[in-house]
Amino acid sequence: MKHLPHKTIERLSQYRRALLICHETGKSHIYSHEIANIQHITAVQVRRDLMLIGYTGTLRKGYNVKELIDLIGSIIDSDEGIHVAIIGMGNLGRALINYFDGKRSKLNIVAGFDTNPDKIGNTMSGVPCYANEDLEKIIREKDIKIGILTVPADHAIESAELLVKAGVKGILNYTPKPINVPNDVYLEEYDMITTLEKVAFFVKLQEMVK
Amino acid sequence: MKHLPHKTIERLSQYRRALLICHETGKSHIYSHEIANIQHITAVQVRRDLMLIGYTGTLRKGYNVKELIDLIGSIIDSDEGIHVAIIGMGNLGRALINYFDGKRSKLNIVAGFDTNPDKIGNTMSGVPCYANEDLEKIIREKDIKIGILTVPADHAIESAELLVKAGVKGILNYTPKPINVPNDVYLEEYDMITTLEKVAFFVKLQEMVK
DNA sequence: TTCACAATGTTAATTTTTTCACAAAAAAAC
DNA sequence: GTTTTTTTGTGAAAAAATTAACATTGTGAA
């Protein structure tokens, strides 16, 4: 297997989630079009993605749910698991922690950081909250590889710099402020305002057509 | 102007945000490569997007910040403004409200819904919180066009159905549970778990290369 | 004035992503 | 036992998105 497209990676993660649910309900096999319906995509797309990861199903029986879950795991998970930190324990940071709570064994949120003295030293939803001043120390101690930025926009840049200095390898930036990182740090930015504006645009468009 | 690609719409929203900041600092013109640097894309990409919306800059002076802000607004905003509701006033819902607080005059979060009796009847960050039972009534009364789903995953489907029944035209689904909507409702789904898994994958990949 | 530079605007090429179309074959139906 | 149906796997085509290449031209410097 050579290069997996970004989009394929995203879909694999989603396939797995759907498959895990199937698995719980005791379903042993699944067709490409069933996966496709769940994800609002086409069956060909699913089959092509699975082709790319070299998984082959059974004709007329579909794909073995358990096998596929394991294969996807072997591709996207790290064997040893990856430690993650949340920078900014506000509403968004806490929302993320709750989302994750116990879901992914290979991705663990092991630390949160904040500037609010009321939060520092406490545990929130099972995640200990530390002071920003201790960020570098904790990141190194706990071998944290990924930082999720959920601070207010005007602290995004300094927080990102802290993370980079501490040696994280990936940053997921949820602030609306674009940040810069060195080449060896993988950066993913997501902007909720943009997404809502996009939805609004297409709603407007649809109204206009009518 | 005919069809604007989805990706272009997203970038236009982001350009505008960057431009608004420039405008505040008193900058009157900006070059394509300056915009590009902020957004981590290429200058050609910026120029192409602007070409698509028919905006033309001044040679050697770049683009007029104010004009461009207004033009992008005329494309992606609705004249009358659009009313938005948040379904699920948990951490994520509240995070979104704070994000938006007063930022976009054309996109207003005018109602929140929840099942928790302690929240119902109160105002949170300026947004009144209603009971789910009143959803259809309030959506119609307030002429709400877009619903943002921030409920727990196992309530996603029923909440989506409520929204559709109430007549919203767009749904932004932040739960990890894919939903189905009729064809005339624009649906955008975003999954934080997938995004984090993707970051983890590319971090793993980068480690392996070394 | 003339030259060099720096920026835009756009056609064409490339790359990436998705879809079409169909062969192959297991299972079911008859 | 033959035919039909259903589903996978994939080469080829199409569509979408990005990048390259370059002509054009306003501006400032010499």
**DSSP character string of A37-96:** HHHTS-HHHHHHHHHHTT---BTTTBEEHHHHHHHHHHHHS-TT-EEEEEE--SHHHHHH
Q: Judge if A66 and A94 occupy the same domain.
A: no
Residue A1 confidence class, pLDDT cut points 50, 70, 90: low
pLDDT for A57 equals 94
Distance CA B56, CA B46 (A): 12
Q: What is the pLDDT of residue A208?
A: 85
**Both B86 and B175 in a single domain?**
yes
pLDDT for position A210: 64
Whether the pLDDT of residue B202 is over 90: the answer is yes
Do A23 and A119 sit in the same domain of this protein?
no
**pLDDT above 90: residue A43:** yes
Give the least confident one: A100-114, A129-143, A185-199, B30-44: A100-114
Q: What CATH code is carried by the domain that includes residue B115?
A: 3.40.50.720
B32 in contact with nucleic chain C (CB within 7 A): yes
Task: Indicate if CB(B68) is under 7 A from strand C.
Answer: no
Q: Please say if the pLDDT value at position A100 is more than 90.
A: no
**Regarding beta strands A186-189 and B107-114, do their DSSP bridges make them parallel or antiparallel, or are they unpaired?**
unpaired
Tell me, yes or no, whether B29 and B128 share the same domain.
no
For residue B78, what is the nearest residue in chain A, using CA coordinates?
A: A204
Domain that holds residue B27: 6-75
Average pLDDT, chain A: 95
Q: How far, in Å, are A79, B31, B63, B65 from residue B22 at the CA level?
A: 45, 12, 12, 7
- pLDDT-based confidence at B101, cuts 50/70/90? confident
B106 and B43 within one domain: no
Shared domain check, A143 and A65: no
Same domain, B30 and B127: no
pLDDT, average across residues A82-90: 97
Whether residues B190 and A188 touch (CB distance < 8 A) is answered with no
Q: What average pLDDT does the segment A37-59 reach?
A: 96
Q: Decide: CB of B42 under 7 A of nucleic strand D.
A: yes
**Into how many domains does chain B fold?**
2
C5 C1': nearest CA residue: B60
Distance of CA A159 to the CA centre of its chain: 19
Dist CA B112 CA B132 (whole Å) = 9
Closest-CA distance, B191 to chain A, in angstroms, reads 9
Rounded mean pLDDT, A107-136: 96
User: In terms of domains, do B59 and B88 share one?
Assistant: no
Residues of A numbered 127-156 whose beta carbons fall under 8 angstroms of chain B's beta carbons: which are they? 145-146, 148, 150
Q: From the Cβ of B44, is strand C under 7 Å away?
A: yes
Name the pLDDT band for B2 (thresholds 50, 70, 90).
Answer: low
**Phi and psi dihedrals of B179, rounded to 5?**
-120, 165
